[in-house]
């Protein structure tokens, strides 16, 4: 019998919970869901509705988009995802110094992509220059936000608490 492939969301939930040294019950309580529902999400037996995913993300201190972001089985799937979303997210390809590069196109969707890439470059440089740790870089990747979320009363991210 072939082993069932565990979905990306389920893997991320377990990994984050383990990293935070929480039990399934503790995450479920923080997210205000039942332990059995959370267990089903972590096992990959069920997928949470968006509002539940948001509560779980807050309980784990990450963006819900981090939890729902797809993973790819191979390079070709990744390439097709880029092609499929080229127009919607405003990027294109141009040659820069003899090397093909993904660059922003035109319009507000393109500005979002450029801002994301700029933020990514900044954090990657900090990591490469040993200004931040691998753990801090990983946390940034899990909580990146371009300022579109509504901050809490204390001005901190509802996901990272920072």
Helices within the chain (DSSP H only): 8-19, 24-31, 35-43, 50-60, 64-68, 75-89, 108-128, 134-143
Based on the domain organization, do 133 and 104 belong to the same domain?
yes
| Within-domain flag for 78 | no
Residue-level pLDDT at 104: 78
Q: What is the predicted pLDDT for the residue at 160?
A: 55
Of 24, 40, 68, at which residue does a domain stop?
68
On the 0-12 / 13-18 / 19+ scale of CB atoms within 10 A, 141 is middle
Give me 19's structure tokens.
């990293």
Please report whether residue 35 resides in a domain. Answer: yes
Per-residue confidence (pLDDT) for residue 98, from 0 to 100: 94
Range of the domain at 59: 8-68
Residue 54 domain flag: yes
Question: What is residue 1's predicted lDDT score, i.e. its pLDDT?
Answer: 52
pLDDT in tens, the chain (162 residues): 555 566 889 999 999 999 999 999 999 999 999 999 999 999 999 999 999 999 999 999 999 999 988 888 899 999 998 888 888 877 888 899 999 988 877 666 667 777 888 899 999 999 999 999 999 999 889 888 765 544 455 555 555 565
Same domain, 62 and 14: yes
Q: Do 15 and 57 belong together in one domain?
A: yes
| Number of domains into which the chain is organized | 2
**Of 151, 146, 158, 147, which is closest to residue 62 (Cα–Cα)?**
158
Q: What is the DSSP letter of 132?
A: S
Nearest to 115 by CA among 146, 86, 92: 146
């Amino acid at each position: 019998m072939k082993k069932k492939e565990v979905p990306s969301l389920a893997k991320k939930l377990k990994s984050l919970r383990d990293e935070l040294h929480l039990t399934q019950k503790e995450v479920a309580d923080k997210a205000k869901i039942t332990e059995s529902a959370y267990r089903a999400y972590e096992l990959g037996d069920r997928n949470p509705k968006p509002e539940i995913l948001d509560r779980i993300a807050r309980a784990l201190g990450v963006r819900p988009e981090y939890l729902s972001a797809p993973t790819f089985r191979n390079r070709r799937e990744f390439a097709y995802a880029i092609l499929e979303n080229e127009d919607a997210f405003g990027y294109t390809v141009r040659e820069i110094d003899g090397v093909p590069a993904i660059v922003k196109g035109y319009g507000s969707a393109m500005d979002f992509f450029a801002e994301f890439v700029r933020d990514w470059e900044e954090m990657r440089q900090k990591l490469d220059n040993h200004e931040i740790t691998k753990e801090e870089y990983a946390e940034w990747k899990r909580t990146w936000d371009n300022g579109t979320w509504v901050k809490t009363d204390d001005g901190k991210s509802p996901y990272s608490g920072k």
